[in-house]
Structure 1
Amino acid sequence: MLILHGAEDTNVPLGQAVYFHRALRHFGAEHEFVIYPREGHSIQERNHQLDFLRRTRSWFDRWLRPADDGADN
């Protein structure tokens, strides 16, 4: 689970994301939790947008990329 959340989000309060993160940690679920300061429900600051995209791509590469079985296809 990848949780990327704006600290000033008024649609989904930060507290809900924090509780979700704590539950995932309690049950040993693999996850990453990032809070972007000054951001609302959509990420506006350029550096945060770039970080958001980098983390999303990295997460997808890690969990959705097919395993290399060593076979030549």
Structure 2
Amino acid sequence: MRYLKSLSQKEVCADSFIRQVQYSQITDGKVEPSISTLEKPGSVFEVSISAFFNADELEGELNLPMMQKIKND
């Protein structure tokens, strides 16, 4: 999703008030985020949190696991 919006990991973290280490752990699949944590980048990406689970809401995005959709690389 970051690439669809042309955002860096740093920009997503700053705009969503998530620490960069936490974001990295989420995208690397090391931790499972809470719903409230998912809402933060969801607002930056201008999508509902269901977009992390439903590929139909993403332009050209494959039906990947949520962590892969917000993955930083």
Give the TM-score normalised by structure 1: 0.25
Give the TM-score normalised by structure 2: 0.25
Q: Which has the larger radius of gyration?
A: 1
Give the strand-richer structure, 1 or 2: 1
